[in-house]
Structure 1
Amino acid sequence: MRGEASLSADRQSRDSLAPKLRESGLDTWRIGEELFVMTQLLDGNKRVEESLTDPSRPSADKVALLEDILGDQVHPCTLEVLSDLVRRRWSRVADIANAVEDFAVDAMMYYADATDSTMTVSMELAQIESALMEMPILRSKLSDMSVPAQNREDLLHKVFEGNDLGKVTMRLIEHLACSPRHRRFLSALRWLIAKFSRHMGESMVIVTTATTPSPEYMKRLTDHFTRQLGRPAHINLVVDPSVLGGMRVQVGDEVTDRTVVAQLERLKRSVSMGV
């Protein structure tokens, strides 16, 4: 949980700089990349992080240190975002890295907007999340901090190389694999999905069925979840014949599994417990 000072700093900074970031158009890709690099630098160097958040240090000194670290090659908007963040007061030293990561993801979302791929990215992230639910060994390996970051990234590419994922989706999951930031890969992926849902003003509902429902049924589902959630819902359909029948619905972290496979598994556990 972030303290009150950090929440205030993060909110004020985003309110001030989000419009400028959005207006950067295709440059947001570069800005996002640079902010991801800065997130890794802060996570890996607590001394730098402490120096940039020291409340007793004049803001001008912290900005000067930041400029020394960055050099003169970064995008002006990247420098503006980071300079704004180091001038603010933080409840905990680590909270500034969280804010930098948030801005990095925002930049990637704005790049997706600029390339008309926001919905595609959101759906691809949801599909990856759905696939990982059935791949516990892969989930474990992607979250294993004893494995070098490059190995985790290589594993990610090996698993998803044939899926034709867009560049934004791929960059986002690469970041999660290389920089878990004390999170399990699946939890961090769900965080991204939630950010994209809020960004689009919608809620992503992942529906898994054995066969493709009719367009009429999909419309009824969309209308149902729109009413239930109180805001526009987007249905991401995953067709998986292995579930045999029924439906699995996921909204955020909530899962309702009424597939035939799940019911058989519950019956099997019930019988085992009875024996």
Structure 2
Amino acid sequence: MGSATREALASSKNALAGLPAPALTVSTGEDLFAAGRIIGESAQFRSLLGDPSTDSSQKSALVSGVFQAGLGADALSLLTAIASAHWSNSDELLAGIEEIGLRVVAASAPASVSIESELFEFGEAVSSDSELELAIGTSLGSPAAKVALVDALLAGKASEQTLVIVRHLVQQPRGRRIAELLRIASTIVADAKNQSIATVTLASPIAAEQLDRLRASLGRLYGRQLTINQVVDPTVLGGLRVQVGDDVIDGSIESRLSELRQKLAS
């Protein structure tokens, strides 16, 4: 991420923070996602908005001219703020629109809904079925067919927020695999709630009490609440592996055996 993009993303988050809570609706997030897809489909439009040398007032006029009639007032306000900033390139502009859309959708969710957990469960289901993973991830499939498949898999089984997010991701993957799409989205959604995600890999599921103790320990370590995703992998043999962002805490027997083999081979 270039320095221009960091500043643009910060100003976009400030614009989001300036909206009153009632404006942070699923519909506003959907509008941002839809606008991002429209911008992504037009090389000329994307290039103009993503060019750091294009004047902010010109970008604002372009956004207003194209989206005035199609977006809600709050979504248009956010999109104008995002597009008027100076991004390092057009790809990072699209990423910025997506991130703000994700944060809006996250803010709209009731406290009882864990979007990141639902995204994780969907990702686990997809990765366990190679045909399903191909159908959702192939660049040859039509966006409409992918959305229909997502609806068949998630409608009535996940929150409205999760459904909206996954629909968008499969329509605009931008060269990313489905696992990466879901991971990035989950991380942003968690961060929007001032939380992080810990992926815990272990040989078998642990009891709820142990999970609570682990969550509390990690929370003290990282200074924020964590959502814990459990990945069951028999090859771990014993112990567990925890990943939070780029940090990995590996206490598995598998890891210790690997280290021993390396020492013996050296």
Q: Which position in structure 1 is the counterpart of 2:260? A: none
Q: CA deviation at 1:13?
A: 2.6
Question: What is the number of equivalent residue pairs in this alignment?
Answer: 256
Deviations 1:107-135 (A, max 9, x none): 101111xx3345x2222112223333423
Q: In structure 2, which of residues 77, 88, 101 is the aligned counterpart of residue 104 of structure 1?
A: 101
TM-score, normalization by structure 2: 0.79
Aligned-residue sequence identity (percent) comes to 21
Q: Which position in structure 2 is the counterpart of 1:272? A: none
Q: In structure 1, which of residues 251, 255, 261 is the aligned counterpart of residue 243 of structure 2?
A: 251
Note the 1:213-224 alignment, pairs <5 A.
213-224=206-217
Contact 1:207 1:247 (8 Å CA) reproduced: no
Q: Which position in structure 2 is the counterpart of 1:116? A: 111
Equivalent-residue separation in structure 2 for 1:173 and 1:87 (angstroms): 27
Deviations 1:124-178 (A, max 9, x none): 112223333423332233221111111222222333456x111001111111111
Equivalent-residue separation in structure 2 for 1:35 and 1:132 (angstroms): 26
Equivalent-residue separation in structure 1 for 2:133 and 2:32 (angstroms): 26
1:159 and 2:153 are equivalent in the alignment = yes
Q: Which position in structure 1 is the counterpart of 2:179? A: 186
User: SS where residue 94 of structure 1 aligns?
Assistant: helix
Q: Which position in structure 1 is the counterpart of 2:16? A: 18
Equivalent-residue separation in structure 1 for 2:50 and 2:206 (angstroms): 53
TM-score, normalization by structure 1: 0.76
Equivalent-residue separation in structure 2 for 1:208 and 1:252 (angstroms): 12
Which runs of no fewer than 5 residues in structure 1 stay unpaired?
267-275
1:39 and 2:39 are equivalent in the alignment = no
- What letter is aligned with 1:233? L
Residues 216/27 of structure 1: CA separation in 2 closer, same or farther (3 Å cut): closer
Q: In structure 2, which of residues 64, 73, 78 is the aligned counterpart of residue 76 of structure 1?
A: 73
1:203 and 2:203 are equivalent in the alignment = no
Q: Which position in structure 2 is the counterpart of 1:65? A: 62
- What letter is aligned with 1:4? S
Equivalent-residue separation in structure 2 for 1:90 and 1:213 (angstroms): 44
Q: Which position in structure 1 is the counterpart of 2:3? A: 4
Contact 1:126 1:206 (8 Å CA) reproduced: no
Residues 8/159 of structure 1: CA separation in 2 closer, same or farther (3 Å cut): same
Residues 256/84 of structure 1: CA separation in 2 closer, same or farther (3 Å cut): same
Q: Which position in structure 1 is the counterpart of 2:133? A: 139
User: SS where residue 203 of structure 1 aligns?
Assistant: strand
- What letter is aligned with 2:128? E
* Aligned alpha-carbon RMSD (Å): 3.4
Q: CA deviation at 1:202?
A: 2.7
Judge which range, 65-74 or 153-162, deviates more.
Answer: 153-162
Q: CA deviation at 1:242?
A: 9.2
Q: CA deviation at 1:55?
A: 5.0
- What letter is aligned with 1:173? V
Which runs of no fewer than 5 residues in structure 2 stay unpaired?
258-266
- What letter is aligned with 1:251? Q
Equivalent-residue separation in structure 2 for 1:14 and 1:32 (angstroms): 14
